[in-house]
Structure 1
Amino acid sequence: MDWILILFVLFKGLVFATGMYLAVKWHYDQEKKVADRRALLRMGAKFAAVFVLLLLVLLGFTFGLARTLGMDLNLP
Structure 2
Amino acid sequence: MDWIPVVFATFKILVLGTGMFFAIKWHYDQGKKEKGVEPREVLRASGKVAAVFSLSLLGLGFVTFEVCRTLGLDLNFL
Give me the TM-score of the superposition, normalised by structure 2.
0.55
The structure number with the bigger radius of gyration is: 1
Query: What is the identity, as a one-letter code, of the residue corresponding to 1:33?
Result: E
Greater relative CO, 1 or 2 (CA 8 Å, sep 6+): 2
Would you identify which runs of 4 or more consecutive aligned residues in structure 1 move more than 6 Å? none
Give me the TM-score of the superposition, normalised by structure 1: 0.56
Structure 1 residue 75: Cα displacement: 1.1
Matched, 1:55 2:52: no
Aligned amino acid, residue 51 of structure 2? A
Structure 2: any 5+ residue segments left out of the alignment? 1-26
Alignment RMSD? 1.8
Q: List gaps (5 residues or longer) in structure 1.
A: 1-26
For residue 34 of structure 2, what is the amino acid of its counterpart? K
**Structure-1 residue corresponding to 2:77:** 75
